[in-house]
Chain A
Amino acid sequence: NAGVTQTPKFQVLKTGQSMTLQCAQDMNHNSMYWYRQDPGMGLRLIYYSASEGTTDKGEVPNGYNVSRLNKREFSLRLESAAPSQTSVYFCASSERLGNIQYFGAGTRLSVL
């Protein structure tokens, strides 16, 4: 049982490059989330999708865009990467908002 799958696991970008982080869940969950984790900052919510077809900003949305492609998939796009976006990114899903969140293994992104 895969749960929440994130790709890629590692990525190095140059400043100004763009990329999309992929996330898919196989638990038939309605809600999905993107977080970033930085040392001493905990996990901070970037965007979330309460259900298919909806997305909302979280605590730190600037510099990111998201797409809820279907019920299974929720992608995070960096249009013009900046060194401040160097972080570990986690995708999570839950049956609905407020329920237990299940996390993927993370994507470690470095922007040079």
Chain B
Amino acid sequence: QQQVKQSPQSLIVQKGGISIINCAYENTAFDYFPWYQQFPGKGPALLIAIRPDVSEKKEGRFTISFNKSAKQFSLHIMDSQPGDSATYFCAASKQTGANNLFFGTGTRLTVIP
């Protein structure tokens, strides 16, 4: 059973547009929600993360929106650039106790010049 569901599977956006990737989870014990970015041939790298005590976190052009009641969180990439073309993974974990990181299935983003 997929602990974290991610959509869409792929996304094509024009340069300058907004890219939006959505994730949903079931386990209410999750309290850490990171997003990883992966370029071809590379390992994933942490992009931005949020904890459920805030509804939004912004770092540059990247923003996480978090809806605790709906158990959903999303990544918004503003002014998308060709260099943002990569696969994005959302993830969730519990920060205490047995705290494996559960990943979504990934979204391949292509930003067209």
Contacts and interface: CB of A to CB of B under 8 A. Distances in A.
A68 B105 CA distance: 28
- Interface size class of chain B, counting residues whose CB lies under 8 Å from the partner chain: 20 to 34
A46 B42 CA distance: 19
B74 interface: no
Interface of A: 4, 33, 40-45, 48, 58-59, 90, 92, 97-98, 100-106
Contact of B96 (A48, A90, A98, A106): A98
B contact patch SS: loop
Contact of A105 (B41, B49, B105): B41
A58 B98 CA distance: 11
Interface stretch (B11-19, B54-62, B75-83, B87-95): B87-95
A63 B28 CA distance: 31
B46 A42 contact: no
Nearest to A103: B43
Nearest to B101: A101
B27 interface: no
B103 A43 contact: yes
25 contacts: A40-B9, A40-B105, A42-B89, A43-B89, A44-B103, A45-B100, A45-B101, A59-B100, A90-B43, A92-B43, A97-B98, A97-B99, A98-B94, A98-B95, A98-B99, A100-B34, A100-B46, A102-B45, A103-B36, A103-B43, A103-B44, A103-B45, A105-B41, A106-B42, A106-B43
